[in-house]
Structure 1
Amino acid sequence: MKGEAMKRYVFAFIFVVLFLLVAVLNAGTTGKLAGRVTDVDSGEPVIGANVIIIEKQIGASTNDKGRFMIINIPPGTYEVKAFRLGYQAVTITNVKINLDLTTTLNFELKSTDTHIKGITVRAKQKLVEADITGSEKIVTAEDIKQMPVQSIQEIVAVTAGAVGSGENLHIRGGRANEVVYTVDGMSVSNPVDNAFGMQLDMDAVGDMSIQTGGFTAEFGNAQSAIINLVTKSGGPQYSGKFEVSSDHVFDEGNNEDKVKFALGGPIIPAGSQHQRDRFTFYFNATGAWTDGRYKDYYKLEKDNPLFEPLGQLSYFGFGDSLHYFNQINSIDDGREKVWLFDVGDRYVNNYQANFKTKFQVSPTVKLTAAVRGDRETNLPFSYLNRLSLRYMNHWTTEHNQLALTWDHTLSPKIFYTIRASRFETNIDLNSGVDRDWYFEPQNTDWNNPTWIENPDQNNFGVHTPGTQVNEVVKYLDQFNNPQSIPFFSNPGTNAGNFWKDQTITYTLRSDFTYQINEIHQAKTGLEIKFNEI
């Protein structure tokens, strides 16, 4: 029995040691506030002064050197108050707390024998952050409002060292898949190719940090950059937006429309500001539809020289089959015109939604839950297949994430966080028909006519199997001169591409942070991941 008990103790000891030593991918989602409180006349430290963040009702007391530190603060802009019996209270506004950084704030209190009203001071933003040891850029929600950007990738693209755009973004010479993306501390990179796997509207982003060098030991699997996003969770006051934009009200544009909606605030509106801030939510949704810059080439207009001869050949040569000419112009079936806008899917459609709620269980315990997702359908344009786009590559990409966070501050110097998430990616490629239908011989054994380039000098024709002579279609330019026609795939040609890709990542992680003093911090954690691919 003693041997068994000893084995259990050894196992428990090894587990604790591993827990404390493992360094994993860990993106911080909070910041710190530190500083000193002194007497304005003598310069001596004010011992036992209270420093509180008014909006969060959390704070700390100064030590024998007049120093204080408040840890585990959600990023944002706050009012901070310092007071002590016998001194005039001082409140500093516009104090910004950034991700994984320490904001320094010093107070000077004036001694007084009578109670007088406190004073308010506006904080100044430091030009240089002393605790940034690598290349890092902090972007706040206020900064995002001032930037002419529509996506996270566009913000990263204007960072020093970034080249390219969208999915082809390279930072400091690294590959696009060498960038690690995290949302609320959890990775949203695809486990197959490490690409950014979540489209998130900028309205949902509260703060963002971009690290392009000097990564600390806590960050693993990052070679080029770390993009860390913290989403909004609402506050004690209701706020929201409704936005509609279009590029074709006064001119043709790309037939692009976008609708945005956002709402955040307290779930229980009654009570004081502090009580309303205990249980909050934030929801936003976006829909975007566009036909793109090639929209005029998806259909064959009547003024196209191929319209009439192709229509005749489709009817008499192809018959009432999959190749029927009208199918070329039926690619946008299902749309209805309502005033200036098309109702229904277009060639590229994007939908995004995000919901996050926060519950302050106690002054030291916070529970956060979030569910978010996006869906995009895309029918890319191909000039070679412009007469058969209906049965070319149809892409559908979906991402969704469910995340839970338990945050517990044990003492003014110690806190831990437990996170769990499920992140799923689905990619579907088809050619506009059901896969099982396509592999039925009777559906794919077509008597295909063949489009032939330049069968008779500068003309273009169609060869139908079983015939000896090509039917020549003359293609005349605007000056009525014969011209050769570029080669196109047959109308009704099916790409025959089918691809279904699903990845699900389950993650459980715990982080433990100990603030040793004003300068040094110890951090460790454990992460368990399971991928279904």
Structure 2
Amino acid sequence: MKAFKYLVLLVSLPVFLFAGETGKLMGTVRDAKTGEGLPGANVVIEELKLGTACDLDGSYVLINIPPGTYTVKASMVGYRTVIEKNVKIRADLTTELNFRLEEATIMTEPIVVTAREAVIKKDVTSSVITSDREELNKLPVETVGDILSKKAGITVDPGGGIHVRGGRSGEVLYLIDGIPVLDPYSNSLTISIPQNIIRQLDLVAGTFNAEYGNAMSGVVNIVTDEGGNRFTGNINFSAGDKVSNHGEVFEKIETIDPLSRTEINGSISGPIVRNKINFYIGGRRYYDKGWLYGQRIYLPTDQYGEMNGDSAWVPMNPSYNRTINGKIAFKITPKIKITSSTFYSYRWWKSYVHSYKYNPSCLPINKRLGIQEIINFNHVISPKTYYSIKASYSYSPYEQYVYENPYDYRYKFWHWYYGSGLHFDRGGVSNYWYKRWTKTIMGKAEFQSQVTKSHLVKTGIEAKRYEIYRFSMYITNPPDTTEDIKLTFPVDDLSILPVNDTV
């Protein structure tokens, strides 16, 4: 038996992991006839009731804008109002929007224009692929892994790991609302993220800006939805099965079960108090019966050539996944907002092992839980300056065993387990038993200000605290019968566990 405990405290100064969650809008408002700037002209994002007045040269800047598609209005006394629709704001990017107003001596109807997204983005210094809500709703995708698998330069290994430009799966940094969501033990994603909660997803592949830390091959930056002043909702259901005409290779693959794979997901969002408190709730349930079959000729308790199985064909790679996500946003004042997010995911699966084909009951079970809590305080000092303070908590346990109770008497048949891929198992069971969990507590503060038209200043500080528990053993001497003894995990004091390598 082996048990380990790690405690790591990390402080980063001044800028690490400060990925952008909001975008910036800037441009000029000029006289359509003379081309001169119009100082004092008003520019307002109608959906957010967020605006500013132009400087002496007619230029304006708005920062801290949530990503999305908006309607922007420019107006001034003595001029005809211009309304630009379909203006896209991207997280961590600048959208340039210029207005030219015509003089008007009497009240006239505003000019409505549909904006076009710039082909060349001047502030993009790395390879970035952006997907917004409109694009994701058109794609046949349900999770972040599905989205990334359809991007150029991305490969997915048989275990579902994401590789960016040939790098390892553990070299990708995942961020949700500016917070890293990685298990510090395996450097893998701690939670499953469904598509319906994503407002914008950015894939940065190479040449990262200084604000990204702990990334080697790629960065996946996700901004989640927080609802709005209009109630919206959706629910989707799908079902199916895998079919092949190569029955000589894949047993039972020609048998069609329309409910072998089922998935249901949905979301609802809207206002609790209009213009003050918004919410978003979403969830997903996925079950796959499996498509790689084994025949239960032997049982884990068989020995000395016994064949006590029922010869039934059973799937050897089933999987189950459920996620629940929620977010609430509270505008205390027009300039102060607090958001609280909760992400929960649970996954259960078995991995196919060819040597267990005729003893499928000895396949280990894998279980993984992910919980992430994020609180964000955002204060806009002026249209050009704001700061935010964030705190997050993450908990991610993982388990692997054949029987959860280490005192299960069936572990006594481990002597008849081969554990080799050179031949088929004929009874016995793996006696390996493994559990671990990690906790991450994180706090960060960020300050951002548009000092001049061409200079944006970012700075911040970040602190992390890791706790990692790892416990593994080989069970070589279980009791003759299963006693009603349960080993709870995680435990606060590992000293209560047996000190020997046997149970």
Residue 359 of structure 1 aligns to a residue in which SS? strand
Evaluate the alpha carbon distance shift between residue 69 and residue 490 of structure 1 in structure 2; reply closer, same or farther with a 3 A threshold.
same
Evaluate the alpha carbon distance shift between residue 225 and residue 316 of structure 1 in structure 2; reply closer, same or farther with a 3 A threshold.
closer
- Counterpart of 1:488 in structure 2 is 424
Aligned with 1:176 (options 169, 174, 179): 169
- Counterpart of 1:293 in structure 2 is 291
Evaluate the alpha carbon distance shift between residue 315 and residue 254 of structure 1 in structure 2; reply closer, same or farther with a 3 A threshold.
farther
**Identical counterparts, % of pairs:** 29
Aligned with 1:364 (options 316, 335, 347): 335
Question: Whole-Å Cα distance in 2 between the matches of residues 315 and 137 of structure 1?
Answer: 56
Stretches of structure 2 that go unaligned for 5 or more consecutive residues are: 1-10, 243-254, 469-503
Question: Whole-Å Cα distance in 1 between the matches of residues 208 and 118 of structure 2?
Answer: 22
Stretches of structure 1 that go unaligned for 5 or more consecutive residues are: 1-17, 269-275, 301-306, 333-344, 452-485
- Counterpart of 2:121 in structure 1 is 129
The Cα of 1:251 is off from its aligned counterpart by: 3.7
Question: Whole-Å Cα distance in 1 between the matches of residues 425 and 259 of structure 2?
Answer: 25
Evaluate the alpha carbon distance shift between residue 285 and residue 410 of structure 1 in structure 2; reply closer, same or farther with a 3 A threshold.
same
Kept after mapping to 1: 8 A contact 2:411/2:430: no
- Counterpart of 1:428 in structure 2 is 399
In the alignment, structure 1 residue 120 sits paired with structure 2 residue 56: no
In the alignment, structure 1 residue 523 sits paired with structure 2 residue 458: yes
Map residues 339-378 of structure 1 onto 2, 5 A cutoff: 347-378=318-349
Map residues 438-477 of structure 1 onto 2, 5 A cutoff: 444-446=411-413
Question: Whole-Å Cα distance in 1 between the matches of residues 404 and 146 of structure 2?
Answer: 35
Question: Whole-Å Cα distance in 1 between the matches of residues 379 and 364 of structure 2?
Answer: 49
Map residues 116-515 of structure 1 onto 2, 5 A cutoff: 116-165=108-157, 167-248=160-241, 251-252=256-257, 255-268=260-273, 276-294=274-292, 297-300=293-296, 324-326=308-310, 329=312, 347-437=318-408, 444-446=411-413, 487-491=423-427, 493-515=428-450
Kept after mapping to 2: 8 A contact 1:315/1:325: no
Residue 400 of structure 1 aligns to a residue in which SS? strand
The Cα of 1:134 is off from its aligned counterpart by: 1.2
Count of matched residue pairs: 441
When the two structures are superposed, what TM-score results if normalisation uses the length of structure 1? 0.77
Q: Deviations over 1:101-158 (max 9, x none)?
A: 1100111111112122212111111111111011111111111122233322233233
- Counterpart of 1:9 in structure 2 is none
Question: Whole-Å Cα distance in 1 between the matches of residues 303 and 355 of structure 2?
Answer: 22
Larger radius of gyration: 1
- Range with bigger deviation, 372-381 or 51-60: 372-381
Residue 210 of structure 1 aligns to a residue in which SS? strand
The Cα of 1:489 is off from its aligned counterpart by: 1.6
Q: Which has the higher helix share?
A: 1
Evaluate the alpha carbon distance shift between residue 378 and residue 445 of structure 1 in structure 2; reply closer, same or farther with a 3 A threshold.
closer
Evaluate the alpha carbon distance shift between residue 380 and residue 253 of structure 1 in structure 2; reply closer, same or farther with a 3 A threshold.
farther
Kept after mapping to 2: 8 A contact 1:76/1:97: yes
Question: Whole-Å Cα distance in 2 between the matches of residues 220 and 260 of structure 1?
Answer: 33
- Counterpart of 1:64 in structure 2 is 56
- Counterpart of 2:490 in structure 1 is none
Question: Whole-Å Cα distance in 2 between the matches of residues 161 and 357 of structure 1?
Answer: 35
Question: Whole-Å Cα distance in 2 between the matches of residues 138 and 153 of structure 1?
Answer: 15
Kept after mapping to 1: 8 A contact 2:22/2:67: yes
Q: Which has the higher contact order (CA 8 A, sep 6+)?
A: 2
Evaluate the alpha carbon distance shift between residue 447 and residue 403 of structure 1 in structure 2; reply closer, same or farther with a 3 A threshold.
closer
- Counterpart of 1:36 in structure 2 is 28
- Counterpart of 2:72 in structure 1 is 80
Evaluate the alpha carbon distance shift between residue 496 and residue 61 of structure 1 in structure 2; reply closer, same or farther with a 3 A threshold.
same
Evaluate the alpha carbon distance shift between residue 445 and residue 528 of structure 1 in structure 2; reply closer, same or farther with a 3 A threshold.
closer
Residue 367 of structure 2 aligns to a residue in which SS? strand
Evaluate the alpha carbon distance shift between residue 447 and residue 154 of structure 1 in structure 2; reply closer, same or farther with a 3 A threshold.
closer
Question: Whole-Å Cα distance in 2 between the matches of residues 420 and 299 of structure 1?
Answer: 50
Question: Counterpart of 1:258 in structure 2: which amino acid?
Answer: E
Kept after mapping to 2: 8 A contact 1:414/1:513: yes
Q: Which has the higher strand share?
A: 2
Kept after mapping to 1: 8 A contact 2:414/2:430: no
